[in-house]
Structure 1
């Protein structure tokens, strides 16, 4: 016989989640949130996942939400458990991933009286959430009606903003009173608000007058429609389109390796290649160099297109276009002139020159992190969804051709803390296989991302182990500090072999190019358990090889 929580606030919450189609629930075990865990796990419609570590659980929720393109609910007990969600909430906030954050709490009058596991949870995530709500306890006057309205508002805000929304739920003891039936709650009249976008006439004029139009696409999910629209804009060489590996766009007319082309730009180059109209699409870009270039460029007009974020990243923003890029470009294409411009040819000549130099360097480079990323770009099966961790991993990937894959990376706050957990959450809810490509420091930091029973056997992880946070040898500054090895780079001699065994992954380790090429095909072949491949480059001067690449590309 089914056993449900007797807490009416939890019954109402579950009812509304079902009404809005939110069925994936990530539960971190605890006592204060036991009513939620009991109720959700006993309700047939919900897919419940037990993730012990709340920091990991939040990122697992991000991965699931990105995979399903639907909100995911995460729930934990009170106190520091709730605070451990914060890294994932900041990532979801800046990446616009819909998380419904359900934190159980002590009764509201228990705060600051030194009751166990009690902190100031109300509005805990206010700086990085799109809404903060606190439910009334069941015994409060009009609790059912007010909680129904609060939860409805929170869920709709989560959908509308596509980001984290927090519901704090004070629960008084007893926590384990159960019922076999729940009351009938009313159907919901959904009240989503959809903005209608009208194209301002002055934007048509600005496009038609511009001779040097540059479109920069940052982090975003794949969109076939946007890809086709941008091709229409560029096929006659009317504009230049810069993309990164995490832009998830592919076309021979797009310039897909920004750092390959502009890393060594002088002040004179910045002036020569500067646009007069800059159009930015999506969110965070990886390339620091493109930010420096465009901040020096001072374009006459800068439009940014995004439903939620309108950042003045390049200190030149003139138009905030608050709609989906597919809607905007669909309207723009009806009115603008698409005339060939010499600006495209300027960039095209640069591309041909730099691509030849890139190929020449690759032919002569020794085995290293650089060589590993080149080899891997040619060996991943096309059906894989590829998650690339932060730090040096995503920077190496920008230099090679990963555009044929669906690429994901936590570029909201760009931290290493949840890359593994996000990839594993994505894998749990996706029928296509998932590959995580990660540095070893990021992998070790988030090892609890593997601490669950739901990772499918077609999941793959490749760790490139260079013996520390090699990014700090690459970026300017840290290399001059006496504290580099111990306190910045964190040099070590660890590997992932025993961790792989502990979490039920098969494990292979390689140290040279020939072995890597030989094992990769088998690594991607089907197996009864997920696999980890560790590429050991710890004895190689990886930073010098990468610096040598950019020096060669001048």
Structure 2
């Protein structure tokens, strides 16, 4: 026999979620949100996933939403539990990942009277959400109509903005009164309006009169339609297209290793390679070098194409084009001439030279973090979705051919805190295997990302354990201080072996070239458990080998 919550606001909430096809809910345990957990778990069209740690749970929900490409709901109890959602909400805000955040709360008159787990929850995430809503309790006048309308607005905003929206739900005791049947609630008619984009003839004129066109694509999900459109633009060398690993674009005429090509640019190079027209697509760009180049270059025109964000990253933005990139380029291609450009040849000569130096450098760099990324780029099976943690991991990946894979990274705020949890949430929602490549600090920071009973056996994690946050020896500054070992790089002697056993993963360790080469093939073979490969590089002076690589590129 079904056991639904008797609380009308909870019934309304579940009904509206079902009407909009939101059928995945990440539940963290608690008493105040128990009515939601009980009710959602009895709904035939809903699936609930229990993740204990709220910080991890929110990132798991974000990973699920990225895989599904639709909203996922997360729900927790009141008080500090709700504050633990914040890191993932910020990341989802800047990545435009649709999270519907459902926080249970004490009654409003309990706030600030020192009742347990009672804080100022209303508008808690206001700085980093696309909407903040609070429901009425059932006993309040007009609560039925108000709550039905409020939940509808919140859900539609989450879908329309593709980002986090918060619904705070005050609930008075008793919390565990149940009913066996639900009242009939009205069907919901969506009021989401499709956006139209009108292509301006001025855009075509600016394109056709620009001799040096540079398109820089930042972080975005795989987009086959955009892939075809940009491939058409470079077919006759009409534009230069710079991409990163997180651009999820792959074409031999795209320039896919930005730092390899421009790391040694001087002031005169900024002038030589300056575009007339800069077109940026997508969100965050990893490369600090390309940001410096384009800020110094001062292009005459800069267009940014994105539905949600129009940041003036390069201090030259003069056209904010608020639409999907495939919509924009589809119309652009119908209105411009595609003429060969000497600007493409200029970049192509640079690429050929630096690619040769890159290949010549590889045999000189022995076993290290750098060596691992080179091996991974050649051996990961094509069907894998790859998640890469922040800090040095994503920077190493930029140097190698990971652009042939579907690749994800939490570059919204670029933090290390939820990389594992996000990858595990993604893995839960796809039949394709998922690989997380992570540094040791990022992995240990998010250990609870593995406290998750839903991780599929075809999930893989590669940890490169250099015994510290080695990024702080790569970037200039920290190594010149006395605090670097303990307080900045945070040296340690931990390994993941016992953690793997505790969370039910098979564990493999590599400590040199020979052992790494020997275990790599077996690591990707199917098995009954997910697997962790820990590659130990603590004594390999990784930062020196990376610096030597860039020195080799100069020669």
- With normalisation by structure 2, the TM-score equals 0.99
The Cα offsets for residues 163-219 of structure 1, whole Å up to 9 and x where unpaired, read as 000000000001111111110100011000112100111111100010000000000
Structure 1: distance between partners of 2:357 and 2:452: 45
Which residue does the alignment assign to 2:64? 64
How far is 1:109 from its partner? 1.1
Which residue does the alignment assign to 2:73? 73
SS at match of 2:25: strand
Which residue does the alignment assign to 1:261? 261
2:343 matched to 1:343? yes
Structure 1: distance between partners of 2:528 and 2:69: 28
Which residue does the alignment assign to 1:108? 108
How far is 1:62 from its partner? 0.6
SS at match of 2:402: coil
2:383 matched to 1:383? yes
2:293 matched to 1:293? yes
Which residue does the alignment assign to 2:408? 408
Structure 2: distance between partners of 1:46 and 1:481: 53
How far is 1:364 from its partner? 1.7
Which residue does the alignment assign to 2:121? 121
Structure 1: distance between partners of 2:72 and 2:325: 25
How far is 1:452 from its partner? 1.5
Which residue does the alignment assign to 1:425? 425
The correspondence of residues 541-552 of structure 1 with structure 2, limited to 5 A, is: 541-552=541-552
Which residue does the alignment assign to 2:512? 512
SS at match of 1:482: coil
How far is 1:153 from its partner? 0.3
Structure 2: distance between partners of 1:433 and 1:452: 17
Which residue does the alignment assign to 1:22? 22
How far is 1:547 from its partner? 1.0
Structure 2: distance between partners of 1:497 and 1:271: 52
The Cα offsets for residues 111-132 of structure 1, whole Å up to 9 and x where unpaired, read as 1111110110000000000000
Structure 2: distance between partners of 1:424 and 1:335: 43
Which residue does the alignment assign to 1:465? 465
Which residue does the alignment assign to 2:272? 272
Structure 2: distance between partners of 1:138 and 1:524: 53
Structure 1: distance between partners of 2:169 and 2:550: 53
Unaligned runs of 5+ in 2: none
SS at match of 1:403: helix
Structure 2: distance between partners of 1:445 and 1:65: 22
SS at match of 2:403: coil
Aligned residues: 554
Which residue does the alignment assign to 2:224? 224
How far is 1:264 from its partner? 1.0
Which residue does the alignment assign to 1:199? 199
The Cα offsets for residues 442-462 of structure 1, whole Å up to 9 and x where unpaired, read as 000000000021001000000
The Cα offsets for residues 26-53 of structure 1, whole Å up to 9 and x where unpaired, read as 0000000000000011111111000000
- With normalisation by structure 1, the TM-score equals 1.00
How far is 1:513 from its partner? 1.2
Which residue does the alignment assign to 1:439? 439
Structure 2: distance between partners of 1:301 and 1:197: 20
How far is 1:550 from its partner? 1.3
The Cα offsets for residues 206-243 of structure 1, whole Å up to 9 and x where unpaired, read as 00010000000000011111011001111111100000
Which residue does the alignment assign to 1:244? 244
Which residue does the alignment assign to 2:312? 312
Structure 1: distance between partners of 2:209 and 2:477: 43
The correspondence of residues 83-162 of structure 1 with structure 2, limited to 5 A, is: 83-162=83-162
Q: CA RMSD in A?
A: 0.5
Unaligned runs of 5+ in 1: none
Structure 1: distance between partners of 2:141 and 2:309: 39
The Cα offsets for residues 2-36 of structure 1, whole Å up to 9 and x where unpaired, read as 10101100000000100000000000000000000
